Amino acid sequence: MTLPRAIYLQEWERNASVVFALGSSIVETAVPTCGDWDGHELLDHLRKVYERAERRIGTDRDPEFEFASSAPEHATALLIQAFSSLHETLEELPDSYPAWNWTGRDQTVGFLIRRMAHETSIHALDAALAAGEIEFDAFFDPAFARDGIDEFFTLVQARRGARKAVTQESWSLHLHATDIESCEWLVDFTPESMTARPGHAKADIALRGSASAIYGWVWNRVPDSALEVHGRAELAQRWRDEVSI
């Protein structure tokens, strides 16, 4: 599933503005959803994503790239500068314009715009969580969250190294967003593979809730308590143990 280009650009701008607004207040704050990062490292990471992405436009290979870290007091301003440059460049190019990416397919600006929108959205959630408590059910637009779940399973989890651990027990997970149509996924884990497909089916563990909360959950940003959990609740931890984010 993909959304209109204008929606991706709108959501990218909206979520980037969340990061910009919080930047100076979290620069020395721990970001619990990003390992041992603090806000400064989060801001620099997102700037690195934007600067690298801009260098991938118009090429069929991943270009060499050297990243310069910022001083904490300049991190937000430099991030805004990188965002503005990339956003302006992408706005002027058609979706079909070439741009390298790691999937080996759809090497286009259209892919890049969608990826930047979702990359930024998850880090906006990180920034908001570092700043304080938030309402998970209302953080993302439901249609955008549904698209983000789709992107996670069809693109992000298709990359090499997407599964960081394997256990001998096969198990299954059902995700069901209750506030928007056509947002159900069944994920099957075996020692050899992890496969995901849209649809409804009985699973070892089922999680129900808003598309926004499920979107954050698959990215290991939202706690199990924000969703209804049915079946073998301990398998939610297995997700965190096995799936590389």
In the chain, which ranges are continuous DSSP H helix? 5-26, 39-56, 75-91, 109-131, 136-139, 142-154, 211-218, 235-242
Q: How high is the pLDDT of residue 54?
A: 98
Closest CA to 78 of 15, 19, 37, 29: 19
Residue 213 · residue 180 · CB < 8 Å: no
R_g over Cα of the chain: 18
| pLDDT single digits (tens) 28-62 | 999 999 999 999 999 999 999 999 999 999 999 99
pTM: 0.95
Q: Hey, what domains does the chain have and what are their CATH numbers? A: 5-134 (1.20.120.450), 156-242 (3.30.1050.10)
DSSP state of 155: T
Counting as low any pLDDT under 50, the low residues of the chain are none
Q: How high is the pLDDT of residue 122?
A: 98
DSSP state of 34: G
